[in-house]
Amino acid sequence: MDQVFKALSDGTRREMIERLTRGPASVGELAQPLSMSLPAVMQHLQVLEASGLVRSEKAGRVRTCHLEPDGLRMAEEWLGGQRTGWEHRLDRLGGFLNSDEGNRS
Instruction: Could you list the beta-strand ranges (E) of the chain.
Output: 25-26, 54-59, 62-67
∠ CA 44-36-31, rounded to 5°: 65
Q: Report the predicted TM-score, pTM, of the whole model to 2 decimal places.
A: 0.76
1-102: which CATH number, 1.10.1040.10, 3.30.365.10, 1.10.10.10, 1.10.3720.10? Answer: 1.10.10.10
- 14-59 per-position pLDDT tens digit: 999 999 999 999 999 999 999 999 999 999 999 999 999 999 999 9
Domain boundaries, the chain: 1-102
